[in-house]
Amino acid sequence: SIEKAWWKEAVVYQIYPASFLDSNGDGLGDIPGIVSKVRYIKSLGVDTIWLSPIFASPQKDMGYDVADYRSIHAPYGTVQDVQDLIDQLHAQKMRILMDLVVNHSSDQHAWFKESRSSKTNPKRDWYIWRDPKYDEQGNRKEPNNWKSIFGGSAWAFDENTSQYYLALFLPSQPDLNWESAEMRKATHDDMRFWLDRGVDGFRIDSMNLMSKHPDLPDGKVINDEPYQSGAEFFASGPKMHDYIREIRTEVLDKYDVMTVGELGFTKDEYSVSQYVAKDRRELNMLFTGDIVDMDFGASGKYERNDFHPRKIRKITDLWQTAMPRFDGWNTVYLDNHDSGRSLSRYASDSPEHRAMAAKMLATYLMTLSGTPFMLAGQEIGMANLGKEYGAESYIDVEGKNYYKGVLKARGGDVSKMSDVLRELQLKARDHGRLPMQWDDSPNADFTTSEKAWMTINKDYTEWNVASQLDDPTSIMTYWKAMIALRKEYPDLFVYGSYVPLPESETGEMILGYERYSQEMRQKSVVLLNFSDQVQKVDVEKYKGFSTLISNQGGDTYKGSHVELRAFGAVVLLR
């Protein structure tokens, strides 16, 4: 039987600090803004928040480029403000996770400034420096062919010492060298700095990129482009598990905290198990990327690849059944700050389906094993920016770099960019970062400034917190009910076993699964319609079950079958 733990029963609410609430009228969200909403967050029923990075940073990648892990980006507030937030959350019996970004730092971090100052600086090996290569004509070339995740080469040349440093994201985000024991120790100290202030755990950014293949070999060539992924040599490298175990024994074991590692590129069950199998004592849970990558193409995120419910069926079945095989634990999530809203990508944000679809996805998240993570705004059905927003509305560096690259390749002809714009409208990171829509007053009451730091989706006049708070039929009310159900039936929805219903029984557009509590005391059936058509499911074998919750009112049964309306969700219980 599965061992119980608070972090398995937690429901986590991700806050993107820039976009939650601006308390001082500068157009940017801040820590005091979050503090002022602690009671609101608690009223949803969630018990833990995850804050995307708030540390001192030049903000080249919205704080995922940290210049000093012990101070706070001034427009967000101070260390004292964060302490206040921690204390207020703890007073409400809530917890807080911070984002630990230690695969790389900012190039403005004191460590990097020292490291780049000379080849003999004691911190030189805190980052990954290599000599250039030269081709037959004597032209300088990068040390290998790896491609940056944000485009271009993964190497940046430093004129001062005539070497390249590795930067898997932006050139202003140099990769730290985890081979250096001193660097690791400094990072451990920074973790303790926050744990000693009461932080309850970390979401570890780009976690499995910390160990690279020591020879940094060329990546496999799959096309005629100058740079190739190389991920097979920089993800889940040979020392990865040593580093995690060291973090555990040196730091985490002394605190009662939880860890969630962001796991990119590594997808096979065995490798995943090595991070979260209970007997390995490494991480509590992971974000496997496959659930947010369902509509990414083989050659990259912005290649068109339409979503089909079969994809979510496959990934859900895989991890729900795999984790118990090695006594591991996982997250359940559909949204984060790195992509479009799941409502717009995997369901529907059209006016007639939006509320149903948002509730259907909430039903998915709250009825599966694993720790659910929701993104602020999901509780009111926040959606992507609509088609009326052109390419100039997209300000995130990932989407912008991609757009610029394609535009250049197409000779600068903007009229040929409609396919790229379509992909941005679905998947750009901007959508996951839109300012929170509090009410229908100017700027959605997110800021009193005339201009917010980024676009506020104009649909806020209709879709906002204030309009849903007291409405018994609202998306928010349904979310609250779903979270409450998860808390009421932990043996079933948190710890229960999962049995997939085959496509032959549900039809291809429906995701269906059964949940059993220990000794089968309780049994539940979840049916989720991922289509905008009515679908029928035969429920003859579920005689004696009744409807526990549904987003389509009480009229779920039609004799021996359940009729699911467009984006309908039905949970049966016996």
For ligand TEU, which residue of 149, 391, 436, 566 counts as binding (CB under 6 A)?
149
3-state helix, strand, coil in the chain (%, to 5): 35, 20, 45
H/E segment holding residue 573: strand 569-573
For ligand TEU, which residue of 16, 76, 146, 169 counts as binding (CB under 6 A)?
169
Q: Please choose, out of 106-114, 184-192, 337-345, 488-496, the segment that lies near ligand TEU by the rule CB under 6 A.
A: 337-345
Does 459 contact ligand TEU by CB under 6 A? no
Does the annotation mark 262 as catalytic?
yes
Instruction: Read off φ and ψ for residue 98, nearest 5 degrees.
Output: -105, 160
Does 338 contact ligand TEU by CB under 6 A? yes
For ligand TEU, which residue of 301, 311, 313, 431 counts as binding (CB under 6 A)?
301
Size of the site for ligand TEU (CB under 6 A): 15
Q: CB atoms < 10 A from the CB of 324, how many?
A: 14
Q: Nearer Cβ to ligand TEU, position 109 or 301?
A: 301
Q: What residues between 193 and 212 interact with ligand TEU by CB under 6 A?
A: 205-206
From the candidates 47, 107, 262, 335, give the one annotated as an active-site residue: 262
What six digits make up the tokens of 302? 């912005």
Does 339 contact ligand TEU by CB under 6 A? yes
Q: Please choose, out of 67-75, 336-344, 368-376, 545-553, the segment that lies near ligand TEU by the rule CB under 6 A.
A: 336-344
Closest CA to 35 of 99, 73, 92, 74: 92
| Cβ-contact 243, 211 below 8 angstroms | yes
Q: Nearer Cβ to ligand TEU, position 233 or 567?
A: 233
Does 266 contact ligand TEU by CB under 6 A? no
Dihedral angle over CA of 25, 27, 33, 39, nearest 10 = 110
| Cβ-contact 340, 427 below 8 angstroms | yes
Q: What residues between 217 and 246 interact with ligand TEU by CB under 6 A?
A: none
- SS3 labels along 2-56: CCCCHHHHCCEEEECHHHCCCCCCCCCCCHHHHHCCHHHHHHHCCCEEEECCCEE
Cα Rg of the chain, angstroms: 24
For ligand TEU, which residue of 49, 66, 101, 263 counts as binding (CB under 6 A)?
101
Q: CB atoms < 10 A from the CB of 207, how many?
A: 27
Does 263 contact ligand TEU by CB under 6 A? no
Does 264 contact ligand TEU by CB under 6 A? yes
From the candidates 107, 190, 205, 445, give the one annotated as an active-site residue: 205
Does 396 contact ligand TEU by CB under 6 A? no
| CA–CA distance, 312 with 183 (Å, rounded to integer) | 40
Three-state SS for 40?
helix
For ligand TEU, which residue of 398, 423, 445, 459 counts as binding (CB under 6 A)?
398
| CA–CA distance, 52 with 14 (Å, rounded to integer) | 7
Chain residues binding ligand TEU by CB under 6 A are 61, 64, 101, 149, 169, 205-206, 262, 264, 301, 337-339, 398, 429
User: Active-site positions?
Assistant: 205, 262
